[in-house]
Amino acid sequence: MKKILVTGATGQLGSELSFLAPKYPQYEWVFADRTKATLDNLDLLQSQLEKIKPDVVFNCGAYTAVDKAESEKELAFRINNSAVGLIAKYVAKNNARLIHISTDYVFDGTSSIALDEDAETYPINIYGESKLAGEIACIKENPESIIIRTSWVYSKFGNNFVKTMQRLMQERDEINVVNDQIGSPTYAADLAQAMVDIVESSKWIPGIYNYSNEGEISWYEFALSIRELGDYSCKVGGIPSSSYPTPAKRPNFSLLDKTKIKSAYNLDIPNYKESLKKIFV
Which residues carry out catalysis? 127
Radius of gyration of the chain (CA): 18
Cα–Cα distance, 7 to 122 (Å, whole number): 27
- Longest C-alpha distance within the chain, in Å? 57
CA separation, residue 254 to residues 109, 123, 178 (Å): 6, 11, 14
Is residue 16 within 8 A of residue 191, CB to CB? The reply is yes
Degrees (nearest 5) of the Cα angle 217, 67, 105?
Answer: 45
Cα–Cα distance, 251 to 47 (Å, whole number): 37
Question: CA quadruple 236, 242, 154, 69: dihedral positive or negative?
Answer: negative
